[in-house]
Structure 1
Amino acid sequence: MKYVVLIHSNPQPWGHPTIDHTPEGQAVPAEQRAVMDREFDALLTELHETGEFVVAEALASPASSTVYRWDGDHHVATDGPFAETKEQLAGFFLIDCATRERAEAVAARFAGPGDTVELRPGMVFDDERLGADDVL
């Protein structure tokens, strides 16, 4: 089953890793940060070794985005960010786990100072209409 781990953050200035650019992340003592870095590296190694890692991408600043909307009979483009919200999508990891419980355990390990992590299952596409409960 595929799941996307969405990382939401508000780094100022925008940058990656987000922990380097949030007040919460910058407040982490160097020794604790070194431990967190090793734990994150171990998580990525584990996901690669188990075959659960699919792809990941850090995203550029929301200010660099373009938003497209439908306005009656045509598309309208506006400069980003898309939402009037403090936290923006900073990046994502696509994982492929055998169970939701495993995906939840993995997603929890992505949560760090100044970030909010969302786990969302992918949907299955086939010849039938999909409902809200149809997930990978």
Structure 2
Amino acid sequence: MDPFLLAGAVVCLLSAVLCVGAAVLRQPPNDITILSVAAVELLLVAYGGSAAVRQLSGEPVVGEAWEFWGYLLTALVVPVGAFWWAILERSRWSNLVLGAVGPTIFVMLYRMEQIWDGVAGL
């Protein structure tokens, strides 16, 4: 198992719990919820940098490389979109949008791992 997938699971779960918890408590988006989504974005940037180094050093993507990079680019946009949503609509419901980032990105990380290793599933 890739360490980035494990780290991604932890960061995404923590972000989702914080954001959904804030929504349950009827809180508008705050520094904690927004920073938790920023942590997901930072993880994706690190993951992308690591993947670029791995691929440039000769480690092949077993699946389709364009699909892997397409997933990564799309995943990079999701937290940014949720951030802007939360900034523009400062209601407790925005925390649910922020909370959806964690599970969405984890599923995308899992799929990227499948594409990289060529595994159909665990």
- Tell me the TM-score normalised to structure 1 length: 0.27
Question: Greater strand share, 1 or 2?
Answer: 1
Question: Greater helix share, 1 or 2?
Answer: 2
- Tell me the TM-score normalised to structure 2 length: 0.29
